[in-house]
Structure 1
């Protein structure tokens, strides 16, 4: 079992509050977040951006391991995740995560790549935790 941690602190309430988020690895170290970083253009991060980073990196790593398991030994995978937050009654819901992948895997056939990529999308741990639509578009060079 592997456990990773992050912490968040929010001072003040609502739109006037300001938060800071840190991760165990210190990749994020007291990074600001709040209403302005989530819904405006203030510098800092937000939960949806962090989910997008987690989903892009998780899917890409899952695909890398699946391709290696299928016997491929080299390649390049570039993934962008776009996480959408929509108003839902009085609150908000993450409604989708759109993965866009550009891949170069020498020697792979398109149909085999499609199958492996779909399996990685469904099987990556972050895909499994998200309760939203997940799409995958890809370009195989």
Structure 2
């Protein structure tokens, strides 16, 4: 099993950062919450800070556990661990993605997400419908 971290990053306007996986990557063309593989001995929060600096050149502050989803991509079994995070600083420069957007939770349904991310999309949509 591969442990992967995903950041649900919010900016000062309450929008969420999503990114589209570029061609040549697994799940290419699908949207996701950015993050990456957790290295041995690394905390989820440390992984997210490192990955977002590497992949997007931004600093974030992971502050709360959001959820976990175990997912099989064919023979690959991943455990996706999501954390809520705030955007701290930096100008987004894409490495593993070809596009990014800041969107509201109400707009999540307009994008095709990678299957492992879908439970988190649904949690965010439900949370917004009930004023959360």
TM-score, normalised to structure 1, is 0.23
Question: Whose helix proportion is higher, 1 or 2?
Answer: 1
Which entry has the higher C-alpha Rg, 1 or 2?
1
Structure number with the higher strand fraction is: 2
Q: So what's the TM-score if we normalise by structure 2?
A: 0.24
